[in-house]
Amino acid sequence: MSSAATADGDYSLLVRSSSHLAALHGAVLDRVRTSLGARFGEVEIISTIPSVTDFAFRGTAYGRPVVIKCSYGGLSIARLMHLVARGVDVQRMADERRESLPFSPEAMSLRWLSDVLGEHNIYVPQVLHDDGDVVIMEDLGVAGGGHQPFRESVNNLWPALSALWRRTARTDAMRRVVRINAEKSIEAIFRRKFRSRDILRATRDDFADPNDWAVFAGLRDAISGTYPLVDTRIRLIYGDLKPEHLLFRRGTLSLIDPALRLGSPAEDMARFLIRAACASDGEDARSYSAECIESAEKTVAELPRRKVLRFMAMDWLNIISTWHLRRRAYRARATLTPAERRQGVLLQRSLLRASAVDVMELTWELSACMESQEEKVE
């Protein structure tokens, strides 16, 4: 138990932005070190993985490299910040939640997923420990794998996901986990944030430019115009499918950070495409995004187009109002970049004429917006 965690990036900004959170961070680290140290021989924490949602670390345990993901009573950092700001006694809340949920939804999702995906040559990191607050899993390493092999193996992804999409939650434990993970659906996040028509109130304080509000308002109207959509296929879905959760290591495609829940496969696809087109974090994800979009073509054609479009637009708004905003919050009030404005307008137009829109073409156009912006910057 020697080295201290080093925090960097967005993560430390968030942690340092609240003394409560700094204390929680310390408490989480202490817990990993003291209560798990005995069980694992020695748990050494080497570095902090930047994360806005969880307390995540790289380290060693059992003498092997591991990734350690911690929550505080199952509450994410974002949730904690929100609760702390409202004066909620998070410690008591966390204790109550620990009692009612002695395992982590992420660890359970990883375990179930490995059953389904194993047959399709897709790997899921092995969970070595899970006590609800602390999940220790094998570290798959950091090296990339080159484009060509990635391009070939990402094609395995869609048959594997189709197999997942044919399943449903069968046991009581599964039903509990999918209920908890339902909080993370695009629709649930959107409702929490914007409470349908309050989207302008939610964004006006943060985005100063009326041109930005026009983009948000246009999208809001287009999204509510597509309602109601009848859900015909409620199945097990990945729940947080995005390029940054595809790791290509030692010639094998692995998936991480699932939030299995019941929903529409259109949601998995929508999140994957919108993140590949414009917003994914992580170097791997950025360099692979074109291959990710390409590989999805056949599968997206089998899904209800209006629904995919609607989820894409909602997720885009969710992204813009968190990641984007949070990065800027420490400097000045946010503004959409010209590329993002174009994306917002494109999404709005596509929703309005959903029956005539090709989802793949739209995705390439959204992605081209970002690329043309990069050229300008360079």
Ligand X SMILES: Nc1ncnc2c1ncn2[C@@H]1O[C@H](COP(=O)(O)OP(=O)(O)O)[C@@H](O)[C@H]1O
Residues in touch with ligand X (CB under 6 A) = 49, 51, 53-54, 56, 67, 125, 137, 139-140, 244-245, 247, 256-257, 282
Q: For residue 313, which of 281, 278, 270 has the smallest C-alpha distance?
A: 270
CA dist., res. 300 & res. 303, Å (int):
5
Report the partner that residue 222 touches, choosing among ligand X, Mg ion, none (CB closer than 5 to 8 A by kind). Answer: none
Report the partner that residue 342 touches, choosing among Mg ion, ligand X, none (CB closer than 5 to 8 A by kind). Answer: none
Min dist CB 245 to Mg ion, Å, is 6
Report the partner that residue 317 touches, choosing among ligand X, Mg ion, none (CB closer than 5 to 8 A by kind). Answer: none
CA dist., res. 248 & res. 120, Å (int):
15
- Report the residue number, 17 or 53, with the smaller CB distance to ligand X: 53
Tell which positions 234-273 bind Mg ion, by CB under 5 A: 257
Min dist CB 309 to ligand X, Å, is 25
Report the partner that residue 134 touches, choosing among Mg ion, ligand X, none (CB closer than 5 to 8 A by kind). Answer: none
Min dist CB 70 to ligand X, Å, is 10
Q: Judge contact between 147 and 108, C-beta under 8 A.
A: no
Q: What is the DSSP letter of 126?
A: P
- What lies within 8 Å, CB to CB, of 239 at 6+ separation is 109, 181, 184, 185, 258, 259, 260, 261, 263, 268
Report the partner that residue 51 touches, choosing among ligand X, Mg ion, none (CB closer than 5 to 8 A by kind). Answer: ligand X
Binding of residue 54 to Mg ion (CB under 5 A): no
Distance from chain centroid for Cα 322 = 12
Min dist CB 56 to Mg ion, Å, is 9
CA dist., res. 58 & res. 67, Å (int):
5
Q: Judge contact between 61 and 32, C-beta under 8 A.
A: no
- Report the residue number, 141 or 225, with the smaller CB distance to ligand X: 141
Report the partner that residue 256 touches, choosing among Mg ion, ligand X, none (CB closer than 5 to 8 A by kind). Answer: ligand X
Min dist CB 133 to ligand X, Å, is 14
Report the partner that residue 137 touches, choosing among Mg ion, ligand X, none (CB closer than 5 to 8 A by kind). Answer: ligand X
- Report the residue number, 9 or 304, with the smaller CB distance to ligand X: 9
Bridge partners, residue 289, by sequence: none
Q: Tokens 């174009």 belong to which residue?
A: 342
- Report the residue number, 67 or 319, with the smaller CB distance to ligand X: 67
Min dist CB 244 to ligand X, Å, is 5
- Report the residue number, 68 or 215, with the smaller CB distance to ligand X: 68
Q: Which residue is nearest to ligand X (CB)?
A: 51
Q: For residue 21, which of 106, 82, 93, 95 has the smallest C-alpha distance?
A: 82
Q: Judge contact between 143 and 249, C-beta under 8 A.
A: yes
- Report the residue number, 109 or 348, with the smaller CB distance to ligand X: 109
CA dist., res. 224 & res. 290, Å (int):
30
The edge-to-edge listing of strands for the beta sheet with 122-123 is 122-123, 252-255, 246-249
- Report the residue number, 257 or 291, with the smaller CB distance to ligand X: 257
CA dist., res. 340 & res. 336, Å (int):
6
Q: For residue 79, which of 8, 36, 18 has the smallest C-alpha distance?
A: 18
Q: Which residue is nearest to Mg ion (CB)?
A: 257
Binding site for Mg ion (CB under 5 A): 257
